[in-house]
Structure 1
Amino acid sequence: MAMNHLEIERKYDADADFAVPEMDGLPGVAETEPPKVHRLSATYFDTEDQRLASYGITLRRRRGGEDAGWHLKIPAGPDSRNELRAPLGRAQVVPAKLAGLVAAYVRGASLRPIAVLETVRTEIRLLDDRGVPLAELADDLVTGRVMGQDGESSWREVEVELGEAGGLDFLKAAEKRLKKAGARPASSGSKLGRLLGREPDEVRKGGDTAGDAVVGYLAEQVAALLRYDPRARLAEFDAVHRMRVATRRIRSALQSYRAIVDRKHTDEVRAELKWLAEELGAVRDLEVLRMHFTARLEEVGEPAEQDWLKSIGRHEEAAYRRLNVVLKEPRYFALLDALDALVAEPPLTERAEKGATVELPKLVKRSWKRLVKAHRAVANAEHVEEARHEMRKSAKKARYAAELAVPVLGQAAKDVAKNAKRVQEVLGDYQDGVIAMDHLRDAATRVTERSEAFTIGVLYGVERCEALRSISKLEATWEETSPPSF
């Protein structure tokens, strides 16, 4: 099962006497199929306190139509949701794979039926000149009831969902025609949301005070962490990386802005964030190595089918299995609860009440000064590799501190983040080379094929040259950076 179906659609409210207009003449439409009528019955599942609904997630078991079964829909952006499906199975038992994908939202609470929607759907498919669907228009007569409540609600709505050949231009043209015929943008983003009378909770935004700015940033990163959780469980490309970045950004913000968010109340959260980042890193590091060496082998004209590289892939798969266990642990759910509480009731200091334009520049400059100090330490370090590693970490912290301040300080903060990122990347490229060489040395002790041993030697030479080339750029890159201008 994979989150491989991206549903892009727009919904419209329509009166009982609304007449669906002819869709001929819309961009690309060559054929309009005859209408099909389906009777759909969907039971929606959620926790007692409607945690999924608060995030705009819907989980249903639907009978009728051409896609009967379990459907899990997770928001993916404006007008779009990622959809996963499972067979009908048992009526009251959520499929384990779907339940697992919402574990970070449910956190051990029971999923139970909360509402039933009955829909009479008149469906029209619009095709291009190759017979490929541009879109599917659905005219829905809906009746819904909430479990445990008396009475029913009924309404009519129209959906336009893009097909394989459709694009946003088509959506705009279809919307224009529907509005002209009397349809209105839907009052709710989903049928369930309309029935329950609730929309997804909004992510907390920044404000005028330093506390507002910091907590708004933390809220964005917590939302990102949750957004990529299901994708990481599915081992989707880059999901673990983005999840780890969100984790690191939260932890870095709590450190860099401890003058705003009281450190005495966040040290435990920071420790748990470090734990989570390490668990995610166990997967990500192997993922990077596998992709890195695969590309290197292509560069030198050697086949990727080598035992030592396959071994990295096997270890990566094992790391993913371990991560999926970790993401089901009470410890992880407790961390998510703590992050929610941190955003909802942040332990702010007195300085948090001061203006963001006053306080944030001071704290960004403080992070930059630490980077300057770390750079000086490299020149006189007894253990230069450790000093370079510390400088890289300082660059990353300075970058994240500046990124937090961008909504408040604008271009000046962007410039700081850009400079810190350039330094971080130079050191990161060097560190990647060092890690690659360490792995190749280890692999060389285990290979038995001479051809593979030769290839490892070639790659080692390439990695060493690239690492030296990267670190040679450090001083020139540093000279091109400038301190914060605020």
Structure 2
Amino acid sequence: DAGAGDHIFYEIEAELLAEGTESDLEKIQHCLQHEWGLVPQLQTKFERALMFINASPASPAPSLNHLHPSSRSEKPRRKRSLITDQPYRNSGTEQKLAASEIKTSARPWRGSETIAETLRPRALSKKPGITNKDTMAEAARKTLYFHFKRMVSHEAGTRRGEDIEELHDMRVATRRMRAAIRVCGAYLDMKQIKPFVKQIRRAGRILGTVRDLDVFKQKAQAYLNTVPPDRQDELDPLFAVFNGQYQNARKRMLDFLDSQRYIRFKKEFEKFLKNRGAAALPAFTSRDEPVPQRIPHVLPIVLLQRLAAVRAYEDCIHARDISLERLHRLRIAFKGLRYTLEFFKEVLPQDAEQLIEELKRLQDHLGDIQDGVVTSDILRNFLTWGTWGKVQSASETIQCKPVIAPGVAAYLSVRQAELQHRVETFVSEWERLEQTGFFKRVAALVHDL
């Protein structure tokens, strides 16, 4: 048990591996200094141990400042220094503190983040590596692992919040994983993968809340850039409410990324995805009959089903029976088709790449419509109640008052006009796809499989 006058401290030591370079070591040192605020040590642990051993009994033991030649005049830090005088009780066995367990006092650095995640990620593979010899389950595993690594690689940037595209890319990775499970779900053992699906969905929802707010602010600012200088403050009442909503959303996101549940999910899911055959169904039925699982055998069916789900809307569109809700559902169907082409483009003919680009154009059009619907609802609720989103209870209704904000009303008018234009021009976009033979070209992809 440590004496009252003893200092027990924690220390991190970074060792350069044989294949490492001096540049790698410099990156780690830069991270530890600037992200964690730690202090480099000029003496080895052995040299510092000798300093204590050689100290005479009558002389005081070397202070922590003597162990910090570069910061002797500073007060020792308790949570953000390499060596900290924060005491702990040793139970008799050696205790070690991993880098992932060190807590810091300020965000964006969080205790659950590893050093590797704070550095710029190494080059990731550009393709999942799917081949015609793979089963659908193996293709799903490769696709999931491909996007899982991308999700993790953008986590540090998402935490910092300096570039909104980092969060966007992290969220996209979660959506691609969910889509891969939907596309290949009939060929997966869902009992094995269900626990991970829940965490992927939760991550996507929490990240999506912040991402939607980022997009809202970005588009609102783009609108302000088009108005005269004397009107630049006309959305300030809206931004005042927005800022509180955004701070809360960011806090929930960081709390989630710091949670043991999320940390455990990353560890367990990566371990699961590294195993070839993960979540694969039996290759034979109970009657010993082979089950169709190989990509060339079943992808044509999967792809044509996704195509059929889109073409089911043809009659509605030609009859101009296209409500906003129906357009939203059509957008989801287009996503299913696009994701299927993207996941398997390594084994599909070259035309698949061009078809994906055409799908993106129409999907973006439908996305602008849905964004206009959501934004208009937010602006109307703000003007009616002065809140972000709908009032949830009668007591809230009594407390809320309408907001007099002509600038916000003007912005609402602009967004509704944009929405109406997008709806009116959608039919021509659909007809363009038909005229270019888009649907026939998608169906033709399966012939070469």
1:209 aligns with 2:209: no
Q: In 1, Cα distance between the equivalents of 2:38 and 2:377?
A: 47
1:271 aligns with 2:223: no
1:245 aligns with 2:245: no
Letter in 2 for 1:284: R
Letter in 2 for 1:206: I
How high is the TM-score relative to the length of structure 2?
0.63
- SS at 2:14's partner residue? strand
Would the aligned equivalents of 2:189 and 2:280 in 1 still touch at CA under 8 Å?
A: yes
Letter in 1 for 2:245: H
The Cα of 1:250 is off from its aligned counterpart by 0.4
Would the aligned equivalents of 2:256 and 2:262 in 1 still touch at CA under 8 Å?
A: yes
Counterpart selection for 2:162 from 229, 236, 245: 236
The Cα of 1:232 is off from its aligned counterpart by 0.9
Q: Look up the match of 2:223.
A: 296
Q: Look up the match of 2:363.
A: 424
Q: In 2, Cα distance between the equivalents of 1:474 and 1:224?
A: 33
Counterpart selection for 2:334 from 376, 395, 406: 395
Would the aligned equivalents of 1:43 and 1:61 in 2 still touch at CA under 8 Å?
A: no
Q: In 1, Cα distance between the equivalents of 2:420 and 2:204?
A: 28
- SS at 2:203's partner residue? helix
Q: Mark the CA change 1:326 to 1:85 in structure 2 (over 3 Å): closer, same or farther.
A: closer
The CA RMSD measured in Å over matched residues stands at 4.1
The Cα of 1:333 is off from its aligned counterpart by 2.4
**Structure 1 stretches lacking a partner, 5+ long:** 1-41, 73-83, 108-188, 191-198
- SS at 1:90's partner residue? coil
Q: Look up the match of 1:386.
A: 325
Q: Look up the match of 1:348.
A: 280
Would the aligned equivalents of 2:316 and 2:322 in 1 still touch at CA under 8 Å?
A: no
Which stretches of structure 1, 4 residues or longer, exceed 4 Å deviation after superposition? 56-62, 92-95, 97-102, 104-107, 199-204, 351-355, 374-383
The Cα of 1:404 is off from its aligned counterpart by 0.6
Q: Look up the match of 1:315.
A: 245
Q: In 2, Cα distance between the equivalents of 1:417 and 1:200?
A: 22
Deviations 1:5-62 (A, max 9, x none): xxxxxxxxxxxxxxxxxxxxxxxxxxxxxxxxxxxxx92189xxx9xx9xx9979985
Deviations 1:217-242 (A, max 9, x none): 22110001101111111113212211
Deviations 1:347-393 (A, max 9, x none): 12349985534433432222222222256567789993332222111
Q: Look up the match of 2:413.
A: 461
Q: In 2, Cα distance between the equivalents of 1:381 and 1:335?
A: 46
Q: In 2, Cα distance between the equivalents of 1:398 and 1:332?
A: 30
Q: Mark the CA change 1:479 to 1:370 in structure 2 (over 3 Å): closer, same or farther.
A: same
Deviations 1:385-439 (A, max 9, x none): 3322221112112211111111111423223422332222111101111111111
Letter in 1 for 2:411: L
Q: Look up the match of 2:112.
A: 103
Q: In 1, Cα distance between the equivalents of 2:417 and 2:380?
A: 15
Would the aligned equivalents of 2:310 and 2:330 in 1 still touch at CA under 8 Å?
A: yes
Task: Write the mapping of 1:116-265 to structure 2, written as runs, cut at 5 A.
Answer: 205-207=129-131, 208-211=133-136, 212-237=138-163, 238-265=165-192
Q: In 1, Cα distance between the equivalents of 2:124 and 2:171?
A: 25
Q: Mark the CA change 1:444 to 1:265 in structure 2 (over 3 Å): closer, same or farther.
A: same
Deviations 1:315-336 (A, max 9, x none): 2122111100011112222432
Q: Mark the CA change 1:58 to 1:392 in structure 2 (over 3 Å): closer, same or farther.
A: farther
Decide which structure has the larger Cα Rg and report it: 2
Q: Mark the CA change 1:412 to 1:339 in structure 2 (over 3 Å): closer, same or farther.
A: farther
The Cα of 1:299 is off from its aligned counterpart by 1.7
Q: Mark the CA change 1:329 to 1:425 in structure 2 (over 3 Å): closer, same or farther.
A: same
1:477 aligns with 2:429: yes
1:411 aligns with 2:350: yes
Identity of aligned residues (%): 19
Would the aligned equivalents of 2:171 and 2:204 in 1 still touch at CA under 8 Å?
A: yes
Would the aligned equivalents of 2:384 and 2:403 in 1 still touch at CA under 8 Å?
A: no
- SS at 1:44's partner residue? coil
- SS at 1:408's partner residue? coil
Q: Mark the CA change 1:375 to 1:57 in structure 2 (over 3 Å): closer, same or farther.
A: farther
Counterpart selection for 1:336 from 258, 266, 269: 266
How high is the TM-score relative to the length of structure 1?
0.59
Q: Look up the match of 2:71.
A: none
- SS at 2:344's partner residue? helix
Letter in 2 for 1:253: A
Q: Mark the CA change 1:446 to 1:57 in structure 2 (over 3 Å): closer, same or farther.
A: farther
Q: Mark the CA change 1:101 to 1:478 in structure 2 (over 3 Å): closer, same or farther.
A: farther
Q: Per residue, is there more strand in 1 or in 2? A: 1
Q: In 1, Cα distance between the equivalents of 2:420 and 2:191?
A: 42
Q: How many residues align?
A: 333
Task: Write the mapping of 1:59-138 to structure 2, written as runs, cut at 5 A.
Answer: 70=32, 84=35, 86-88=37-39, 89-91=81-83, 96-97=103-104, 100=109, 103=112
- SS at 1:327's partner residue? helix
Q: In 1, Cα distance between the equivalents of 2:273 and 2:300?
A: 22
Q: Mark the CA change 1:352 to 1:236 in structure 2 (over 3 Å): closer, same or farther.
A: farther
Letter in 2 for 1:209: D
Q: In 2, Cα distance between the equivalents of 1:396 and 1:347?
A: 24
Letter in 2 for 1:205: G
Q: In 2, Cα distance between the equivalents of 1:282 and 1:295?
A: 20
The Cα of 1:471 is off from its aligned counterpart by 1.4
Would the aligned equivalents of 1:232 and 1:239 in 2 still touch at CA under 8 Å?
A: yes
The Cα of 1:461 is off from its aligned counterpart by 1.5
Structure 1 window deviating more from structure 2 (384-393 vs 434-443): it is 384-393
Q: In 1, Cα distance between the equivalents of 2:271 and 2:28?
A: 32
The Cα of 1:465 is off from its aligned counterpart by 1.0
Q: Mark the CA change 1:320 to 1:439 in structure 2 (over 3 Å): closer, same or farther.
A: same
Q: In 1, Cα distance between the equivalents of 2:207 and 2:295?
A: 33
Q: Per residue, is there more helix in 1 or in 2? A: 2
Letter in 2 for 1:275: R
Would the aligned equivalents of 2:130 and 2:142 in 1 still touch at CA under 8 Å?
A: yes
